[in-house]
Structure 1
């Protein structure tokens, strides 16, 4: 196996894991809480631009150029996206289903238009280049560079997965699922559905912002065209294929769908002449849609469906209840 092939495989997995982070954020919002967010591209864009502004060493006539470490940029991206999600959620979180979807879609379009027109901040249609890349000193060795970047993403995804799994099994996670399944019953138990939904929306938005920052730094360039509504479609397809409500399914779906997307691009493009690449892109979307329908027919809950989680104290309480009670 050639070094170039291994390096490409590492780069492919690195990109797939950035989408896996987005899926984990969407899984908090939709899979656990039932919040229909179709503005994923907006939160990803916020994270990407904030991190780029904080870390690029030279602003070249625009705002930014603070030259901060990449870690600081990632943390700033997550905080900024989480704050925006919190503010948006405070206004829209009481909306239901399709109404919330319309509101979040509008937010994504507004963010994309701001990125396109605020040239003094975002660089406008030309975007921001020379975004610092992790382990830039290894750029002369493609294999080492790709493997190092992959290692960083593996650690980030693993840390997020473990943290979200712990939240999933905590009382907080059980309240989210209770609100998703039967809000009236949750309200009867004294739980504030609005407060918990807002928390989940903000956490999911922060994770999406982190994904945008990670992707921006591994690519090294961002532009408004990177954050079109198609990005939202991709992430939703990944979560549905992998299994909504299951963090492992979110990661698996991201890798699988990104593999299909990246692998089919070249094959489909070769079927059309150079002037008809738009038709090739449309056919690629159709193929992904057909594949999504086929998977849902075979596995309606996704490849890895949601696993019902109950309190870790249930077993102990049941055993205690089964013991004979001593007479006084």
Structure 2
């Protein structure tokens, strides 16, 4: 039972990174990215290329061992360095891809932007399947090293990785909270609410949308790296539009768009429903239901999403209307009004 709960918590922590990245893009800037799976896949494969040993020949052909080659000379030989370099490379590559895609994509309307991002994600998946020399084609990459695996027993390592995943999530969550409460975050919210008014105030709308798109993609790339290190293998079959895009949108919509806490809560709720539905296989079900359990799981997820949209469309934890940190400090220093004192506008005129 403890192992099951640990695996559940690790997966939720990893998926929360994707919902946080999507929340930066959609929840704050209104950038409709329906190609999350592209950055998921790129981050996972990039991390694998930087940590896995080069191919030894035979049927496997891929690029590997980049981490030790690109590590600083004074850190050569350190076990943890390739994993850090791989995670940073995953973020950098996803950020670079988002930056390049932003020039044609962000000039489109929301509906066309969604279609464009879906097409880009599918194009990347087809390239991964067809390109054997870089990522071993449809065979995928197996035996990806895990950080600090030699220091723990197999039974204890899952608890260590849970702490590592939660630490990464906490770091990203704190950084996102600070950034989105800064002037930059307030511009993103203004852009989402009224793009014309934001542009009229002198803000470069396209530049801010591009920045949100890039930052969100970098967080997704980090999520892909943490996923690859935890699974120890990646395959093109993993990165489908349903499991790599739709489920993250469902998590964000259930939890609450525009609220980082809601993004994390949505990951817990949706993944919990996903796992609980699979646990039904352990019960004596009629054969007609047993063979359709995966369709029932998808049906339950869709029903939950529709229920939330009908009953609480803002999500379980809606966006908080907040002021800047400086305004909060100013309001705290403001002296309280005396009892019985009337504002100037409400005083009766003197005779």
- TM-score, reference length from structure 2: 0.85
Q: Residue 47 of structure 2 aligns with which residue?
A: 51
Question: In the alignment, what sits opposite 2:327?
Answer: 314
Asked if 1:149 is matched to 2:161, the reply is yes
For 1:54-69, list aligned pairs within 5 A.
Answer: 54-61=50-57, 62-66=61-65, 68=67, 69=82
- Choose the corresponding residue for 1:21, options 9, 17, 23: 17
Structure 2 partner of 1:176: 188
Deviates more, 1:305-314 or 1:195-204: 305-314
Deviations 1:1-28 (A, max 9, x none): xxxx212211211111110000000000
Q: How far apart, CA to CA, are the structure 2 residues paired with 1:60 and 1:306?
A: 51
SS of equivalent to 1:313: helix
Deviations 1:234-277 (A, max 9, x none): 00000011110000111111122111112212426975759x85
Cα 1:150/1:316, change in 2 over 3 Å: closer
Larger radius of gyration: 2
Matches within 5 A, 1:175-254: 175-230=187-242, 231-254=244-267
Contact 1:133 1:218 in 2 (8 A): yes
Query: CA RMSD, aligned part only?
Result: 2.4
Stretches of structure 2 lacking an aligned partner (at least 5 in a row): 68-81, 338-342, 344-351
The alpha-carbon deviation at position 54 of structure 1 amounts to 1.1
The 1:175–1:283 alpha-carbon spacing in structure 2 relative to 1, beyond 3 Å, is: same
The answer on whether the counterparts of 2:277 and 2:293 sit within 8 Å (CA) in structure 1 is: no
Matched, 1:31 2:32: no
SS across alignment from 2:98 = helix
Question: CA deviation digits over 1:49-71, x for unaligned, max 9?
Answer: 11101110132342322162111
Q: Report the number of matched residues.
A: 318
CA distance in 1, matches of 2:107, 2:163: 40
1:56, 1:131 within 8 Å by CA — same for their partners in 2? yes
Give the unaligned 5+ runs of structure 1.
none
The answer for the alignment partner of 1:71 in structure 2 is 84
In 2 relative to 1, CA 98–122 (structure 1 residues): closer, same or farther, beyond 3 Å? same
Task: Give the drift of 1:86.
Answer: 0.8
Match of 2:131 among 109, 113, 118: 118
**Normalised by the size of structure 1, how large is the TM-score?**
0.91
SS of 2:233's equivalent in the other structure is coil
User: What is the alpha-carbon distance in structure 2 between the residues aligned to residue 244 and residue 72 of structure 1?
Assistant: 31
Q: In the alignment, what sits opposite 2:5?
A: 9
**Which of 160, 170, 173 in structure 2 is aligned with 1:158?**
170
Distance in structure 1 (CA, Å) of the matches to 2:62 and 2:139: 15
**Which SS does the other structure have where 2:141 is aligned?**
coil
Between the aligned partners of 1:315 and 1:165, the Cα distance in structure 2 is 15
- Structure 2 counterpart of 1:40: 36
**Deviation of residue 293 (structure 1)?**
1.3
Partner Cα distance (2:281, 2:255) in 1 = 24
